[in-house]
């Protein structure tokens, strides 16, 4: 039995908390989030800022923002494993190196959620023979915080630049980059289209002796997050905690 804490408690966090409550085999230790809205039944402490006496858990799920993660990670990685959803934070080499160093020093682990994308295991396995990786994302302007009235390609460049430009919108791009060629050698295109109601991602891979295309589309839920992402986050949590199914894909 592992104690699970949460850094952030928005749409994804609440879905994961409800999932854990249904499982009923791993207690929720705490939730750290400002301006908590009590639309979910919690029997654990809720704090707005880190409290060393309260914020203790075997696993801390980060489902906040990249900025919050960068402000808080050092408190948690000293004594807890972390499941991280804000993968664009790793486009900042200084943050990434410090986080990895903390894990090495304290024997903790970072788990990276695959979020809205599929096939990261295959990309990771092929990383040594990959030559070219591109990602094209199409979202409604509202999901991107924009007001375009026509289909607009507003970014076309390296994934590192995309992560710095839209840190809350391109975690899929960060996941692909980390699994494959890295942030500088992965190419990102972001398109705003007022005529779509989905978040779609097309990933094209080329390598020595093979090519592949991954096409994922998820209905938007009125904000940044697509409908599939909270479901996949629960799946990531299950795989870390174990004990859910009699078999495991590897």
| pLDDT value of residue 22 | 92
pLDDT tens figures, 22-62 = 988 999 999 999 988 777 889 899 999 999 999 999 999 99
Q: What is the DSSP letter of 87?
A: G
Picking from 144, 155, 140, 161, the residue whose alpha carbon sits closest to that of residue 88 is 161
Higher pLDDT, 230 or 224: 230
Q: What is the DSSP string of 121-156?
A: HHHHHTGGGEEEEEEEEEE-HHHHT---SS-EEEEE
The domain spans of the chain are 4-115+229-241, 120-225
pLDDT(131) > 70? yes
pLDDT tens figures, 71-94 = 999 999 999 999 999 999 999 999
Which distant-in-sequence residues (6+ apart) come within 8 Å of 183 by Cβ? 90, 91, 158, 159, 160, 163, 174, 177
Which distant-in-sequence residues (6+ apart) come within 8 Å of 242 by Cβ? none
Confidence of residue 225 (pLDDT cuts 50, 70, 90): low
What percent of the chain is predicted at pLDDT more than 90?
Answer: 74
CATH number, domain 4-115+229-241: 3.40.50.720
Q: Which two tokens stand for residue 83?
A: 């499941």
pLDDT tens figures, 145-198 = 899 999 999 999 999 999 999 998 999 999 999 999 999 999 999 999 999 988
User: Class for domain 120-225, per CATH?
Assistant: alpha beta
Which distant-in-sequence residues (6+ apart) come within 8 Å of 50 by Cβ? 32, 72, 75
Q: How far apart are CA 197 and CA 204, in angstroms?
A: 23
Q: How far apart are CA 41 and CA 58, in angstroms?
A: 22
pLDDT(249) > 80? no
| pLDDT value of residue 248 | 58
Strands 152-158 and 46-47: unpaired
pTM given for the model:
0.90
pLDDT(119) > 90? no
Average pLDDT in the chain: 91
């Amino acid at each position: 039995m592992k104690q699970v804490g949460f850094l952030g408690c928005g749409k994804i966090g609440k879905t994961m908390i409800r999932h854990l409550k249904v499982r009923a085999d791993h207690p929720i230790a705490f939730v750290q989030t400002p301006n908590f809205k009590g639309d979910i039944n919690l029997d654990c402490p809720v704090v707005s800022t880190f409290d060393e006496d309260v914020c203790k858990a075997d696993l801390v799920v980060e489902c906040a923002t990249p900025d919050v993660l960068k402000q808080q990670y050092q408190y948690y990685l000293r004594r807890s494993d972390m499941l991280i959803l804000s993968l664009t934070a790793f486009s900042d080499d200084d943050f990434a190196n410090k986080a990895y160093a903390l894990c090495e020093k304290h024997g903790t682990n970072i788990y990276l959620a695959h979020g809205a994308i599929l096939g990261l295991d295959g990309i990771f396995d092929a990383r040594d023979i990959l030559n070219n990786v591109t990602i094209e994302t199409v979202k409604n302007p509202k999901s991107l915080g924009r007001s375009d009235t026509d289909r607009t390609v507003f970014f076309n460049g390296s994934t590192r630049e995309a992560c710095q430009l839209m840190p809350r919108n391109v975690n899929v791009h960060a996941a692909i980059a980390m699994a494959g060629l890295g942030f500088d050698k992965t190419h990102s295109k972001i398109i705003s289209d007022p005529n779509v109601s989905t978040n779609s991602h097309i990933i094209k891979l080329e390598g020595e002796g093979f090519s592949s295309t991954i096409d994922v589309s998820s209905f938007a839920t009125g904000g940044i997050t697509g409908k599939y992402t909270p479901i996949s986050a629960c799946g990531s949590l299950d795989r870390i905690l174990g004990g859910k199914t009699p078999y495991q894909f590897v």
